[in-house]
Amino acid sequence: MNASTEPRLFVTGQGPDGATFMSDQPVAAIDLAGKSVQARFLWGRDDIATIPNAGEQPPLAGALPAPGGWRFSMLTIDAGATREYHAFIVNAMGPLAEPDHPGFHTTPTLDLITMIDGELVLELDRGEERLLRRGDSAILHGVRHRWHNRGSRAATLVAVMFGANT
């Protein structure tokens, strides 16, 4: 993406005088497996929000939310980069990933997924697959799964992950 098409994040808040405001900031890509797999962290919390607030990002304990916490992010996988994505999962997710079954992972989260560009295949543990296209959504209840980009262009999803009790 060039600078004019980089995603931006708008965050509202309220100042000490009660006046509302909105920040406008670009969302930098984080290379997970070179430039072929990128994430953009948008927002998250590990506590219950208090309203009104100043719209500042609270500190987070880690990439995955604890029970009651949440994360809001984007993930882009280039066409043909399924192998790179699966290697990232094995390397980054530790005990949540399965080195003998690259890409498969299970997180203690409820994930709300919406495709915003391209196509990804969601594969479940028994080989069941579904193709998600732009506008499609999926809700994952802490299940074993992996993603594939078998399309001809990059695919991007938006995810909100809620930490769950196990």
Structural domain contains residue 67: yes
Residues in Cβ contact with 161 at an 8 Å cutoff, skipping those fewer than 6 apart: 64, 65, 70, 71, 73, 107, 109, 110, 111, 112
Structural domain contains residue 69: yes
- Predicted pLDDT of residue 12: 96
The pLDDT tens digits for 70-122 are 999 999 999 999 999 999 999 999 999 999 999 999 999 999 999 999 999 99
Domain count, the chain: 1
H-type helices in 4-103, by residue range?
82-92
* Residue closest to 130 by CA, chosen among 152, 106, 113, 110: 113
CA 132 to CA 155: how far, in whole Å?
10
Structural domain contains residue 17: no
The pair of structure tokens assigned to 81 is 């980069």
Structural domain contains residue 10: no
pLDDT band at 5 (very low <50, low <70, confident <90, very high): confident
Q: Please give the residue range of the domain that contains residue 77.
A: 29-47+58-163
Looking up residue 92, the CATH number of its domain turns out to be 2.60.120.10
Structural domain contains residue 77: yes
